[in-house]
Structure 1
Amino acid sequence: MTTTDRVLYLFGSAAPPVFDVDKVIQDAQGRGFDVCLGLTPTAARWLEPQLSELEVLTGHPVRSEYKMPGEPDVWPKADVIAVAPATFNTVNAWALGITREFVVGVVAEGIGKQIPMVAMPCVNAAYVQHRRFEWSVSELREMGVRVLYGGGGFVPNEPGQGKPNAYPWGLVLDAAEDLLRC
């Protein structure tokens, strides 16, 4: 954990690049961020063996569920939120305001709170043929979310041809820093 005034909520969905989240946290901390990690339930299940190490690394509980009413918040307030990898489901649920999952609920509310946010999808080329995906990306952009998709962001691969090690994590952290300069 670093001591800083810049708090980054890093939210990950269940896509293969989420397995590198420890390296991303370390990179973000090197950039002066205090990182709070939130995961979709499936991503939390994938990272179950690492969750305690990730909590030590960040100095905060890893969250994947809503807290109970009346419970105190265990995280400091976010200065910026990064959602990556953002799956097809996460992108669409966020754009539609379907807040069943904790991370989607926080970012949906974050729009109203005017918290700077960046998202980078991780979807294959078959998913992006579904017309709701492009609509969702456009909706999020219209709501002020910087979506790193297409040129200068994530470019989908063909189904089964994913390159998780080539996921451009640095672009997400660069954008988070840039959003705080605006």
Structure 2
Amino acid sequence: MSGPHTSNGHRRVLYVIACGSPLARHVDRLVDLAQRDGWEVCVVTTPDGAKFVDRTALARQTGHPVRTHYKNPGDPDVLPVADAMIVCPATVNTVNKWAAGITDTLALGLLVEAQGLGVPIVAVPYTNSAMAAHPAFRAGVARLREWGVQVVLGEHVVPLHAPGTGERHLDAFPWSAGLAALRGARAPVAPVG
């Protein structure tokens, strides 16, 4: 994928999708890194992700409202169209639903649609070793990778932690890993029935 500017010099738009994890409290760090890379950033959260973020501070940081829910019919879109997306932190719940094509939240709806439109997407799961071992999660990660989503997961990037210890590892999280993967991302392939 090319850099964060279009051919006419405008900044490209990156959606940062934050899921329900204590790590989401620090998503402003990813926003800051992306902005330094030249992206115009919009933040979207899952309903559980909204419990962890400071919506007012993120809106001030990005210049855009933080979206969590689908808009009402007839309401205008308040965010520019995304050129790329990073799901960080991606939870087991979101990965499993996304891989199944479920769109019961705005975040999932945007991901499923973006995948169909060929928008480059990176997912950075943050979970514990027990949840990551579940067959549905492993299958979901494999399916997303097969479809061209860059899933940043593995001991070399984000070591899995023991259940109940995630809060102890927040400061060591490599926020730049998702952006690095995005630089090499290709457009995902929509599954064909």
**8 Å contact from structure 1 (residues 17, 164) kept in 2:** yes
Letter in structure 1 aligned against 2:36: G
How do 1:27-176 residues align onto structure 2 when only pairs under 5 Å count? 27-47=33-53, 50-162=54-166, 163-176=169-182
Give how far 1:45 is off. 2.1
The CA RMSD over aligned residues, in Å, is 1.5
Listed one character per residue, the Cα deviations across residues 113-139 of structure 1 (whole Å, up to 9, x for unaligned) are 000000010110111221111100011
3-state SS in 1 of match to 2:48: helix
Q: List gaps (5 residues or longer) in structure 2.
A: 1-8, 187-193
- Normalising by structure 1, what TM-score? 0.91
Q: List gaps (5 residues or longer) in structure 1.
A: none
3-state SS in 2 of match to 1:70: coil
- Normalising by structure 2, what TM-score? 0.86
3-state SS in 2 of match to 1:41: coil
Give how far 1:71 is off. 1.7
Structure 1 equivalent of residue 191 of structure 2:
none
Give how far 1:14 is off. 1.2
Identity of aligned residues (%): 41
Q: Which has the higher helix share?
A: 1
Give how far 1:151 is off. 4.6
**In 2: Cα distance, 1:104 partner to 1:153 partner:** 24
Equivalences, count = 176
**In 1: Cα distance, 2:72 partner to 2:28 partner:** 27
3-state SS in 2 of match to 1:84: strand
